[in-house]
Amino acid sequence: MLTQHVAKSVSRVRVRIGWCFGRGGVKGACSVLIGDGGAENMIATGICLLKGEESESPIQGTVTFEWDETEEVFVQGTIEGLKPGKHGLYVCSLGNVTNGYMSSGIHYNPCNKKHGGPEDADRHVGDLGNVEANDDGVAKFEMHDRLLRLAGNYSIIGRTLVVTENEDDLGKGENDESAATGNAGKGLAWGIIGIANK
């Protein structure tokens, strides 16, 4: 059933042009190929297991990314062990965690935008805003995102997901760091986004 559904959806998919264009037209090679013409090339679900830097860190979580027929990606997850309050969540450009989040690169930003919130016209593709932990330190969340892709040249598969120490100010602060990272502070937990289902 899933294969039939995806196959029907893929038959309608074309190269999407304009998802990270400005009013002036194309900015570099920022078109996105969602599918390659066959269901076997479509990734239905990505998954990321988040863990803290130290072995004794209480922070851990699971986040899934699911493509749907609206051509958005449905993100849902649970992260435990956080301090109560808001914490930034973003996708980094690399899938290198040999030195923790420090080796995972900058926020994934193929269109050279400023940092922003998920609903902003100008934002990094990897900017997913904030998740909020309750009094028990658990953040449960779900969102739909229009820019994330699970296939093609701009796929997030193989890149790193990071949850941060501080709240992301969504680029609304009045300093250079806000425009780059939202003043979200250091990474608390991270993991590489892998393929869960094709």
Contacts of 94 (CB under 8 A, 6+ apart): 103, 104, 105, 159, 160
pLDDT of residue 189: 96
C-alpha–C-alpha distance, residues 32 and 156, integer Å: 12
Band (pLDDT 50/70/90 cuts) for residue 185 is very high
- For the stretch 145-174, pLDDT in tens is 999 999 888 999 999 999 999 999 999 998
CA dihedral (167, 137, 109, 37) positive or negative? negative
User: Is it the case that residue 11 has pLDDT exceeding 60?
Assistant: no
Residue 25 CA to chain centroid, in angstroms?
24
C-alpha–C-alpha distance, residues 112 and 174, integer Å: 20
pLDDT of residue 5: 45
pLDDT of residue 25: 35
pLDDT, the chain, mean = 83
CA-based nearest residue to 156, from 117, 198, 193: 193
* Domains of the chain from N-terminus onward: 40-197 (2.60.40.200)
pLDDT of residue 22: 42
Predicted TM-score (pTM) of this structure: 0.81
